[in-house]
Amino acid sequence: MKDWIISQLEISHATHNPLKPMEGLRGIAVFLVFLVHYSSLITPWLADTTIIISSFIHNFGNLGVDLFFILSGFLIYGTILSKDHFSSNNYIRRRVIRIYPTFLFVFVIYIFLSVLFPEESKLPLDTFSIVIYLIQNVLFIPGLFDVKPLITVAWSLSYEVFYYILIPILIFSLSMKTWSSKIRVTFWVLVTFLGFLIAFLYGGPVRLLMFVAGIILFELKNVLTINIKSWGNISFVLALLFVGFGGVVNIDYNVSLAVVYILFFVFCFSALSNESSSSKWLVYSPLRWLGNMSYSYYLIHGLTLKFLFLLLPVLISPTQSSSFLYFWLWLPFFFATLIVSFFLFVIIERPFSISKRNNSALKCD
């Protein structure tokens, strides 16, 4: 049984060599997301200083999505830039295969539960509005647009899909492949400065700039072959502390994200450099396994936590608040989310997304 579980969680990535520290980075990212939802749902049972600690952890847990964006920026940009021949049909097919099977499976579960528990439902009241709302969710409109997602975490998929569409258009319309790497880096650095300036002045979806951090990372790491072996761990810790305390002292969000942009860039740069201090612990197998099933985990863990916290009042009333309950429950609840996510990964994501995508890649190579 142990060998079978390990074989399911190890991914070959077809003909491509996986970056094992990147798998670990995904594991870190999705664990941070878990901390956000765990900290939110357990609040009624907390007391005294644990409320402050939970709020601190909740604040920096939000950075998990930003870390995902950097990794997506790196991978998608690198995939397009590195190919001698780019097929838009193959690109679109691989993106659809990667995203939709697991999403639609969880989406149907949410629809079923919305009908079963109408008091928890986000569905509109009339049939026409329901149809429009479901179509909006399937097309990943919630997130960049002011629509509440049926699956709470799916707002980030709106950002991901927008990036998937935009980046090949930019690369080929601007003939970026003919530019030198240094010119491309200069261009993306200017995009970063301009993007944050616009965000400071007018607002907007500033988190899209985290994809740009991944783009610059690919240019420096894979094209210019620059490596940094230090500062990764301390940059990661500083990012968590800065955002954690930032929620307490009310630091401007755009300033906070600009700092995270730099610190997470250094963290990922170091993590993807051979023999760096951060890469050594990111290749820890359980962390990589979590990273490999991170998409399934990301989509289903919130529903699992919601179920657990609906059961919790049967055992412990919210009036029985505790300073230690936060620390007692996170491990068993995290383990429960792992089990549910593993089954989703093995039954849906691995056979319908990962295996089919790899077969598609083999045919294209």
- What is the C-alpha separation between 87 and 31, in angstroms, rounded? 35
CB atoms within 10 A of CB 365: 9
pLDDT of residue 306: 96
Strand partners, 322: 46
Q: What angle do CA 114, 120, 349 make, to 5 degrees?
A: 50
What's the number of CA atoms in the CB half-sphere (13 Å) around residue 365?
A: 12
Q: CB-based burial of residue 119 (10 Å sphere; 0-12 exposed, 13-18 middle, 19+ buried)?
A: exposed
| Residue 49 confidence (pLDDT) | 84
pLDDT in tens, the chain (365 residues): 888 888 899 886 544 555 899 999 999 999 999 999 999 999 999 987 889 999 999 999 999 999 999 999 999 999 999 888 899 999 999 999 999 999 999 999 999 999 999 998 999 999 999 999 999 999 999 999 999 999 999 999 999 999 999 999 999 999 999 999 999 999 999 999 999 999 999 999 999 999 999 999 999 999 988 888 889 999 999 999 999 998 777 888 999 999 999 999 999 999 998 888 999 999 999 999 999 999 999 999 999 999 999 999 988 888 777 778 899 999 999 999 999 999 999 999 999 999 866 655 544 44
Using the CB atoms, write b or e for 271-304: b if 16+ within 10 Å.
Answer: bbbeebebbeebeeeebbbbbbbbbbbbbbbbbb
Tokens representing residue 31 in the block: 């664990």
CA angle 32, 34, 39 (to 5 degrees): 100
Question: What is the Cβ-side half-sphere exposure of residue 60, based on CA atoms within 13 angstroms?
Answer: 21
